[in-house]
Structure 1
Amino acid sequence: MYSDSLETLALPTLHRPSINYPDFLKKISTVSPKFVEIYKQCIQAQNNELVELTGIGLRRAIEFLVKDYGIFMLNHSDTDLTKEKISKDSLYNAIQDVFKDDTFIFEYIDESRWIGNNKTHYTDTSEDDSINEMFNFIEAAANLIVAKLTSLKARNHRNGRSKKKD
């Protein structure tokens, strides 16, 4: 039977508690604002128990962090990489290229990539606490990246001082 009245569909609303985001997000936003945006959404998803989406979102966040950082560093290092190569590469290849000399960052990022990829498949072979591990690994990698960016800033200051002495 057809009815002229509109039925309303009640959708659950997401509770938005106040969230204290990690400090590294502010510091890394100049290199990868999209990473920061996605990572914050992942924190919100986890807080709202959207566990099926959190791992997938973190995997996406990693891709932006790796590729944006790699592209940013093109102007600050001697490499044969290009913006086009980094942006079109698979995440695995981009991680290999961008972090080939940074074993600590490589380990954290690559393990996060592996867990994130698992979260997208029908059969997830990662551990039950793997989302928390992803957050921990990404935070560790991001803090190391922030340290490298800070080191780069210090080097630029030092180089600026030495030019003034000449």
Structure 2
Amino acid sequence: MSYINNPFFSTDSNNITKINAQQNSISTLGVKVPSPNFCPFENIPSNFRYVSESYDYENLGPTSYRFEVTYQCQGCYKYVAVGYISNMDSGSVIDYDFNFTNNKIKFPFNEDVENNFPDFKIIYTQAQKAEKYGLNEIAGPGYRKAFENLIKEYLIKFCDKKEESIQKRSLSDCASDLGDETINKIAKVAIWVGNDQTHYDSNQNPNLDLNDLKNGINFTVNYLISEIEKKKLLQAYDDKKKD
């Protein structure tokens, strides 16, 4: 048997676990199933300890049913669940498509953004995760919140705006203080989309979507980082002239 679509099996497993699977409410069978032999989290062969099997079996016919078994990797100690199809006294692994290499969310901005706006990174990354798993009704408000955090933190940290005042102002109003007419407009378009994504029964911009919101954030981030670097260099120039 091939386990090509199951990341917990690198080759045919010679390890066998005997499961006392409950076929129905009164009948129990001793089912022999192959055990995992590869840990995709560590990307190495590994031994797995049997923990438990499910008791919620899905009957697929008079002699066939599905169940899950939980194992623990003895290398990294993470728990995994493997699905099986049983045919009386033996069980075969259910193949499935799951690419572990794509699980990690990559923050699309550089270290300058991470260092200057750590809360923005946290919120933005959570929105990315929601989008990745198809939770677009959550992703949109998440990106909008990240954008608000970014703009207001920038104005407080780098434009000497008072935090108490910034907290009370609307995001659109704050965007007007970014200092560049073009980026002000781009930021406001992103805010419009974010508001549509967030507020009840709001769709004032039907031609704009989540990608436009993210593009607006991207343009604004690049502008803010360039402004921060520009101010840093100008300050270095002024300090040098004083010497």
Which band: TM-score by shorter chain?
0.7 to 0.9
1:130-158 C-alpha deviation (Å, 9 max, x unpaired)? 10111111011100101101111111221
CA contact (8 A) 2:172 2:188 kept: yes
TM-score, with structure 1 as normaliser? 0.76
> Is 1:40 aligned with 2:125?
yes
Find the counterpart in structure 1 of residue 162 from structure 2: 82
Q: Superposed, which structure 2 residues align to 1:85-124 within 5 Å?
A: 85-96=165-176, 98-99=177-178, 101-124=179-202
CA distance in 1, matches of 2:208, 2:172: 23
Q: Classify 1:17/1:56 alpha carbon distance in 2 versus 1 (closer, same or farther; 3 Å).
A: same
CA distance in 2, matches of 1:73, 1:152: 9
Residue 38 of structure 1: SS of its match in structure 2?
Answer: helix
CA distance in 2, matches of 1:146, 1:74: 13
Structure 2 gaps, min length 5:
1-55, 57-99
CA contact (8 A) 1:66 1:95 kept: yes
CA contact (8 A) 1:92 1:110 kept: yes
Q: Greater relative contact order: 1 or 2 (C-alpha under 8 angstroms, separation 6 or more)?
A: 1
Q: In the TM superposition, what is the alpha-carbon distance from 1:128 to its structure 2 partner?
A: 6.8
Residue 103 of structure 2: SS of its match in structure 1?
Answer: coil
Residue 29 of structure 1: SS of its match in structure 2?
Answer: helix
Residue 137 of structure 2: SS of its match in structure 1?
Answer: helix
Find the counterpart in structure 1 of residue 212 from structure 2: 133
CA contact (8 A) 1:104 1:141 kept: no
Structure of larger gyration radius: 2
Deviation beyond 3 Å, 4+ runs, structure 1: 126-129
AA partner of residue 195 (structure 2):
N
In the alignment of these two chains, the number of paired residues is 144
CA distance in 2, matches of 1:73, 1:102: 15
> Is 1:23 aligned with 2:23?
no
Report percent identity of matched pairs: 27
AA partner of residue 135 (structure 1):
K
Find the counterpart in structure 1 of residue 236 from structure 2: 157
Find the counterpart in structure 1 of residue 23 from structure 2: none
Q: In the TM superposition, what is the alpha-carbon distance from 1:88 to its structure 2 partner?
A: 1.6
RMSD: 2.3
TM-score, with structure 2 as normaliser? 0.54
CA contact (8 A) 1:56 1:119 kept: yes
Q: In the TM superposition, what is the alpha-carbon distance from 1:29 to its structure 2 partner?
A: 2.9
User: Which has more helix, going by share of residues?
Assistant: 1
